Chain A
Amino acid sequence: MSLVKETDYGTPASKSEKEVTLTIDGVSVTVPEGTSIMRAAMEVGTEIPKLCATDSLKAFGSCRLCVVEIDGRYGTPASCTTPVLPGMSVHTQTPRLKAIRRGVMELYISDHPLDCLTCAANGDCELQTMAGAVGLRDVRYGYDGANHVFARSRKDGAANFEWMPKDESNPYFTYDPSKCIVCNRCVRACEETQGTFALTIDGRGFDSRVSPGMAEAFMESECVSCGACVQACPTATLTEKSVIAIGQPEHSEVTTCAYCGVGCTFKAEMRGEEIVRMVPWKDGKANHGHSCIKGRFAYGYALHKERVTTPMIRDKATDPWRVVSWEEAIAFAADRFKKIIETHGKRSVGVITSSRCSNEETYLVQKLTRAGFGNNNTDTCARVCHSPTGYGLNQAFGTSAGTQDFDSVDDSDVILVIGANPTDAHPVFGSRMKKRLREGAKLIVVDPRRIDLVRSPHIEANHHLALKPGTNVAIVTSLAHVIVKEGLVNEAFVRERCDWDEFQDWAAFVSDDRNSPEEVEKLSGVPAEDIRAAARLYATGGRAAIYYGLGVTEHSQGSTTVMAIANLAMATGNLGRRGVGVNPLRGQNNVQGSCDMGSFPHELPGYRHVSNDAVREAFEQAWGVTLDNEPGLRIPNMFDAAIAGEFRGLYCQGEDILQSDPDTKHVSRALEAMDCVIVQDLFLNETANYAHVFLPGASFLEKDGTFTNAERRIQRIRKVMSPKNGYGDWEITQMLAKAFGLDWNYTHPSEIMDEIARLTPTFKNVSYEKLEKDGSVQWPCNDAAPEGMPIMHIEGFTRGKGKFVITEYVPTDEKTGPRFPLLLTTGRILSQYNVGAQTRRTENSRWHEEDVLEIHPHDAELRGVRDGDWVRIASRAGEITLHAKVTDRVAPGVVYTTFHHPLSQANVVTTDNSDWATNCPEYKVTAVQISPSNGPTEWQEQYREMAENARRVAAE
């Protein structure tokens, strides 16, 4: 094993198709037009010295180290900023160039500390490498002059006002101004790669300094701690604190992030089994070398002291836990499940997996319930986020997945974001989107809240439709109304690709006056003119892409909105090529994968219904069992059945249903009613408070497997350290299966993937071997598409003709009235992740220590609420208390909070309303009342006490 090192070509690749041939040091080289001389040289293995250039950033030309000589040209141009020309003859090493480079290096080093041996960058310092490359042997200027290096003058001990102390405010990296060479790479990374514009260069000439915000500390500035600057820094000026503490890594493995559905790939850089740092992998096709604060820095939870590494059992959930051996825990769990099945029948138990689990893990868990328990009671947390996407897109196009790859956004002219907040929840893709917007793409945001995309540095939405929560269907249908009535339909596309009769029915429906912007304004609060303008822009602005999130799906009409979105894309012909499409932004890393793997109770792997005899027979033959042909219970149905006494055993892998599912009291009643709850997790999560068996899980750093991201891209996770609990999660499921008498003998997750590929036509050519060779692949990957499919539905739709569905708006039952006059909607924040089990156990909590309630100044004043006050939030389901944040980001009548903290229990107030088609809960609309309060509610206090009690472990 060694460190994975990517080649730095110095400047970005040119996309030109025209080629240019030139000679560099007598070697002929052919490169695309627009390529820099620096890059062309690197293509033939000649590394021209450089400091301010790196290929993730546009050429800048400030360090003057990369100068070259060109035959027939005066002077010594910088090779990073000089494009190649046909027939050019370039010399990279001449006496004149050598003298210039040494002179430049001398100046740099005369204002740089010479503490190389004790410097954190020792072994990974470009300045040191370049000093070596140019043959620097002496610094004629000495070190006594004006400098940024020493706190006091070396001559007379006087204070040096050019010197600045280290900024250690950020918990993950330090900024040491004394080591800065003002190459601007950090500033450019913050602008070009991340798009936050938190950094600048303050001052001129010798006074130039990197400045976060208005010369603030990093933590006080607008910095979002994505780490792009740290990665870009060629010296130890910006350095990970982990590198300072441990030293340079000696080997690395490429692996996939365990947070959101973007699926960034990282190099896990290691020293032995100790992780030194995570560095985004440049060749990763989802993230192209970029990351956010979570993926790069928030991995400390895997080593957190609260992690449980031994199995535990207890007779009753109110007893203290008893630490036992794996054998005893597995036998106890299997015995209880067998007894339940004997007494209450085979449909009385089931499983839930998290979308944080790998493909192989979720596949095995659904196989356990189907082949072992003999039922289809398997669900995954995609139920509560994107199940309407699966249903809706399958109806419209015939595939339960997004249509594009992430790179497609580079070709979009119009971007329509509905109910998604990419800069917080999908930050790396959010940065890609912002880059395209800065290049001139137009933006429409449909969201009740003023998310960052609406207006942030160098980004401004052309239209923000700030709709009332719960009116998505009306708004999207109204956009269609304008498109049809104003003759903006792409009729050629519709006639060729879609069912024409269904289209005509749909066109007649949307044209009805009740769907006109003027009518929809009355219920959505969005001015009719804004709806009209947005519709015209989407239909006529060029290539238009729709990106949506849980603000679309988590409604009583979630599936209907997904189909309304699909209608819009079909009517305007925005499908089947680059830059367009319908793109669900998946919440968790493996939402797509867990759905693909047959985790839903009505579908076998590959989205094939359990009533399909031929499909069932294939699995029956492979697994040697008879399978149930009836759909099983979905997560909310499991809770209802548990309370009714018909569902009594649950195996829950990696999912914290108590905190993440709506109407907490309903969930806790369901859990209390069960005879055996098995929780497999890293921590004693909130669900474990009600569990009888705890099986400690392995972190993503401790096992092999694959995740499938929002663009259907299958990528490897690789084991870089031994599992602290002793086993990978797939091994634990296998032990349980064996205890149920199933003869499973997988020795590696690759064998599980081989089985998936054998049984699932869309995965036919997927294997670990292929992933090793190609890095990743986007399904479908079979004989028809051996290399996978970045863009879907190019020639036609998977289902044949695209289906237009009529999307009648049905208001939710969750209505405001005198008792509950405000609408609560929920969302996520950049630094925290879902229930926070991971991020709360890292320094990320410094950015978001508690969930707060955003409330408009008007609503706050009416209720006598001031910024920072405790407020009580009451709904029909329950009440909680949070601190208020008075802000006009939310409209009057709307309040907003996040759901990252267990003690705030945002889901105590959410209701059991759900999507009509999939039972996806309606998290996004709850009618509430807000009033001033003195502190946590009785429920919050009682819960805190109960949770402490439930986590007791008996002394040995």
Chain B
Amino acid sequence: MSHSTADKLVKMANQIGMFFAAQRHSDAVAGTAEHLKKFWDPRMRAGIIAHVEHGGEGLDKVPLEAVLKLAGK
């Protein structure tokens, strides 16, 4: 079971994105970004932002946009 840190963050972000993508009453990207902000330690957020800056491999659409939103882009 060896995941690199980035792999793990991507997997977790995708899981979160899947939940919010299913909601019909709220914005999936905003929900995902809010969740990351409320529950992820700043280093984890920095980690996923850095991953996105390097192409964001493996990230689904909703979490990808959410991370961009977090990064202020």
**Are A and B genuine complex partners?**
yes
Chain A interface (Cβ < 8 Å from any Cβ of B): 347, 377, 501-502, 505, 508-509, 556, 560, 601-602, 609, 611, 630-634, 637, 640-641, 644, 646, 663, 665-666, 805-808, 810, 813, 876-878, 911-912, 914, 916-919
Classify the secondary structure of B's interface with A.
Answer: helix
Chain A residues with Cβ below 8 Å from B22 are 509, 806-808
Chain A residues with Cβ below 8 Å from B44 are 633, 637
Contact assessment for A916 and B41 in the assembled complex, using a CB-CB cutoff below 8 Å: no
A637 to B40, CA, bound (A): 9
- Shortest distance from the beta carbon of A662 to any chain B beta carbon, whole Å: 10
Additional A-B contact list (20), CB under 8 Å, known A640-B8, A806-B23: A377-B41, A501-B25, A509-B22, A601-B41, A602-B39, A630-B41, A630-B42, A631-B38, A633-B41, A633-B43, A646-B43, A666-B1, A808-B19, A808-B22, A878-B1, A916-B18, A916-B19, A917-B19, A917-B39, A918-B39
- Shortest distance from the beta carbon of A784 to any chain B beta carbon, whole Å: 27
Which residue of the partner chain B has the closest CB to A915? B15
A-B pairs with lowest CB-CB distance, top 8: A916-B15, A808-B22, A505-B24, A877-B1, A633-B41, A630-B42, A806-B22, A806-B23
Which residue of the partner chain B has the closest CB to A662? B1
A747 to B18, CA, bound (A): 50
Residues facing A in B20-73 (CB within 8 A) are 22-25, 35, 37-44
Contact assessment for B5 and A505 in the assembled complex, using a CB-CB cutoff below 8 Å: no
Contact for A810 among B18, B37, B38, CB less than 8 A: B18
A74 to B22, CA, bound (A): 75
Contact assessment for B24 and A919 in the assembled complex, using a CB-CB cutoff below 8 Å: no
Quick one: given A916-B12, A916-B15, A919-B12, are A609 and B38 in contact (CB under 8 Å)? Answer: yes
Which residue of the partner chain A has the closest CB to B18? A810
**Chain A to chain B contacts (Cβ below 8 Å), 9 pairs:** A508-B24, A509-B24, A611-B38, A646-B43, A808-B18, A808-B19, A917-B35, A917-B39, A918-B39
Which residue of the partner chain B has the closest CB to A912? B1
Chain B residues with Cβ below 8 Å from A810 are 15, 18-19
Classify the secondary structure of A's interface with B.
Answer: loop
Chain B residues with Cβ below 8 Å from A917 are 16, 19, 35, 39
Chain A residues with Cβ below 8 Å from B23 are 805-806
Chain A residues with Cβ below 8 Å from B5 are 640, 644
Contact assessment for A560 and B38 in the assembled complex, using a CB-CB cutoff below 8 Å: no
Chain B residues with Cβ below 8 Å from A609 are 38
Contact assessment for B25 and A916 in the assembled complex, using a CB-CB cutoff below 8 Å: no
A805 to B20, CA, bound (A): 10
Which residue of the partner chain B has the closest CB to A807? B22
Which residue of the partner chain B has the closest CB to A666? B1
Which residue of the partner chain A has the closest CB to B44? A637
Quick one: given A509-B24, A911-B1, are A916 and B16 in contact (CB under 8 Å)? Answer: yes
Chain B residues with Cβ below 8 Å from A502 are 25
Chain B interface (Cβ < 8 Å from any Cβ of A): 1, 3, 5, 8, 11-12, 15-16, 18-19, 22-25, 35, 37-44
Quick one: given A347-B41, A640-B8, A806-B24, are A912 and B3 in contact (CB under 8 Å)? Answer: yes
Quick one: given A501-B25, A911-B1, are A641 and B43 in contact (CB under 8 Å)? Answer: yes
A38 to B65, CA, bound (A): 74
Most chain A CB neighbours (cut-off 10 Å) among B5, B24, B35, B39:
B39
Chain A residues with Cβ below 8 Å from B41 are 347, 377, 601, 630-634, 637, 641
Chain A residues with Cβ below 8 Å from B25 are 501-502, 505, 806
Contact assessment for A663 and B1 in the assembled complex, using a CB-CB cutoff below 8 Å: yes
Which residue of the partner chain A has the closest CB to B16? A916
- Shortest distance from the beta carbon of A125 to any chain B beta carbon, whole Å: 60
- Shortest distance from the beta carbon of A172 to any chain B beta carbon, whole Å: 42
- Shortest distance from the beta carbon of A929 to any chain B beta carbon, whole Å: 16
Chain A residues with Cβ below 8 Å from B15 are 556, 810, 916
Chain A residues with Cβ below 8 Å from B39 are 602, 631, 634, 917-918
Which residue of the partner chain B has the closest CB to A638? B41
Most chain B CB neighbours (cut-off 10 Å) among A508, A609, A631, A917:
A631
Chain B residues with Cβ below 8 Å from A601 are 41
A878 to B1, CA, bound (A): 8
A502 to B24, CA, bound (A): 8
A502 to B5, CA, bound (A): 36
Chain B residues with Cβ below 8 Å from A805 are 23
A62 to B5, CA, bound (A): 71
Chain A residues with Cβ below 8 Å from B24 are 505, 508-509, 806
- Shortest distance from the beta carbon of A647 to any chain B beta carbon, whole Å: 9
Chain A residues with Cβ below 8 Å from B35 are 917
A410 to B18, CA, bound (A): 40
Chain A residues with Cβ below 8 Å from B11 are 813
A601 to B41, CA, bound (A): 9
Chain B residues with Cβ below 8 Å from A640 are 5, 8
A609 to B43, CA, bound (A): 18
A502 to B1, CA, bound (A): 40
Which residue of the partner chain B has the closest CB to A810? B18
A723 to B37, CA, bound (A): 43
- Shortest distance from the beta carbon of A62 to any chain B beta carbon, whole Å: 61
Most chain A CB neighbours (cut-off 10 Å) among B24, B25, B40, B41:
B41
Which residue of the partner chain B has the closest CB to A877? B1
A509 to B18, CA, bound (A): 15
- Shortest distance from the beta carbon of B43 to any chain A beta carbon, whole Å: 6
A879 to B44, CA, bound (A): 30
A505 to B23, CA, bound (A): 9
Chain A residues with Cβ below 8 Å from B12 are 914, 916, 919
- Shortest distance from the beta carbon of B72 to any chain A beta carbon, whole Å: 16
- Shortest distance from the beta carbon of A883 to any chain B beta carbon, whole Å: 25
Chain B residues with Cβ below 8 Å from A560 are 19
- Shortest distance from the beta carbon of A374 to any chain B beta carbon, whole Å: 13
- Shortest distance from the beta carbon of B13 to any chain A beta carbon, whole Å: 9
Chain A residues with Cβ below 8 Å from B42 are 347, 630
A126 to B8, CA, bound (A): 65
A666 to B4, CA, bound (A): 12
Which residue of the partner chain A has the closest CB to B42? A630
A208 to B53, CA, bound (A): 82
Chain A residues with Cβ below 8 Å from B8 are 640, 912
Chain A residues with Cβ below 8 Å from B3 are 912
A634 to B8, CA, bound (A): 14
A813 to B1, CA, bound (A): 13
Quick one: given A560-B19, A808-B19, are A631 and B40 in contact (CB under 8 Å)? Answer: yes
- Shortest distance from the beta carbon of B15 to any chain A beta carbon, whole Å: 4
A877 to B2, CA, bound (A): 9
A810 to B40, CA, bound (A): 22
- Shortest distance from the beta carbon of A601 to any chain B beta carbon, whole Å: 7
- Shortest distance from the beta carbon of B51 to any chain A beta carbon, whole Å: 14
A809 to B60, CA, bound (A): 17
Contact assessment for A602 and B38 in the assembled complex, using a CB-CB cutoff below 8 Å: yes
Chain A residues with Cβ below 8 Å from B18 are 808, 810, 916
A876 to B40, CA, bound (A): 27
- Shortest distance from the beta carbon of A556 to any chain B beta carbon, whole Å: 7
Chain B residues with Cβ below 8 Å from A813 are 11
A633 to B44, CA, bound (A): 9
Chain B residues with Cβ below 8 Å from A630 are 41-42
A632 to B39, CA, bound (A): 8
Chain B residues with Cβ below 8 Å from A918 are 39
A631 to B11, CA, bound (A): 20
A508 to B23, CA, bound (A): 12
Chain A residues with Cβ below 8 Å from B38 are 602, 609, 611, 631
Contact assessment for B40 and A347 in the assembled complex, using a CB-CB cutoff below 8 Å: no
- Shortest distance from the beta carbon of A633 to any chain B beta carbon, whole Å: 5
A646 to B42, CA, bound (A): 12
A807 to B20, CA, bound (A): 10
- Shortest distance from the beta carbon of B2 to any chain A beta carbon, whole Å: 9
Chain B residues with Cβ below 8 Å from A602 are 38-39
Chain B residues with Cβ below 8 Å from A807 are 22
Which residue of the partner chain B has the closest CB to A610? B38
Chain A residues with Cβ below 8 Å from B37 are 611
Which residue of the partner chain B has the closest CB to A663? B1
Quick one: given A916-B15, A916-B16, A917-B16, are A876 and B43 in contact (CB under 8 Å)? Answer: no
